[in-house]
Amino acid sequence: MIEFHDEDARDSRAVYRAVSSAFGRSAEAELIEALRKAADSIISLVADEDGEIVGHVLLSRMNAPFPALALAPVSVIPTRQRRGIGSTLIKLAVNRARNGGWAAIFVLGDPNYYQRFGFEREAAAGFTSPYAGPHFMTLKLSQSLSASTGELGHPRAFAALD
C-alpha cells in the first residue's frame, strides 16, 4: 500500500536514495539537501510503499512579486514509474500550497507532463527568470495575482544544478 505524507527527519537518507535512483545521478538529491539546509524547502512530500520511499516532491521558496514556490524536483524510482505516483505527489503538493496561501507555483519541465496539472507557459511568459523559455510554466493558485510580470528568483541552491 502506498501512503503519501510529509517528509520527516528520518526520511532524508531514503529520499536521497530515491531521488538519485529516479534521475540516475545525485545532483537533484544534492539540491534537495542544499534547499533543506538553507531552509528554502517549504513542502516536501514522500510516497511510502510499505516503508520504502518510492517517490518525492519538493516545493521551495522563490523570490517573486507575490508568495511563490518552485516545484522541483519530482522523483519516482524507476520500478514504480507510470503508476500515478508522480501525479499524486504533484496534486497533493499543489493542494498543500493552495491551502497554505501561496499565490503561484513555477516549474521548469516538459509542458506535456505539467499542463495536465494546470501549469501554463503563457502565464509565465511575462516574468524574468534565468529559467524563462518554452519549458517554464506557472500555476496560479490565487484568482487575483498581484502581477503578471516581474523578476523571479529561485533559491540559490538551484544555481549548482546544470
Ligand X SMILES: CC(C)(COP(=O)(O)OP(=O)(O)OC[C@H]1O[C@@H](n2cnc3c(N)ncnc32)[C@H](O)[C@@H]1OP(=O)(O)O)[C@@H](O)C(=O)NCCC(=O)NCCS
List of residues contacting ligand X (CB under 6 A) = 22-23, 72-76, 81-87, 109-110, 112-113
3-state secondary structure of 160: helix
Using alpha carbons, select from 139, 144, 159, 161 the residue that is nearest to residue 69.
Answer: 139
Distance between CA atoms of residues 115 and 131, nearest Å: 17
Per-residue DSSP letter, 120:
B
In the complex, the smallest distance separating the C-beta of residue 72 from ligand X, rounded to whole angstroms, is 5
Query: Of the two residues 88 and 148, which places its CB atom closer to ligand X in the complex?
Result: 88
For the chain, the maximum distance between any two Cα atoms, rounded to a whole number of angstroms, is 45
- Which residue number is nearest to ligand X in terms of Cβ? 86
In the complex, the smallest distance separating the C-beta of residue 107 from ligand X, rounded to whole angstroms, is 8
Query: Of the two residues 43 and 76, which places its CB atom closer to ligand X in the complex?
Result: 76
Query: Of the two residues 92 and 145, which places its CB atom closer to ligand X in the complex?
Result: 92
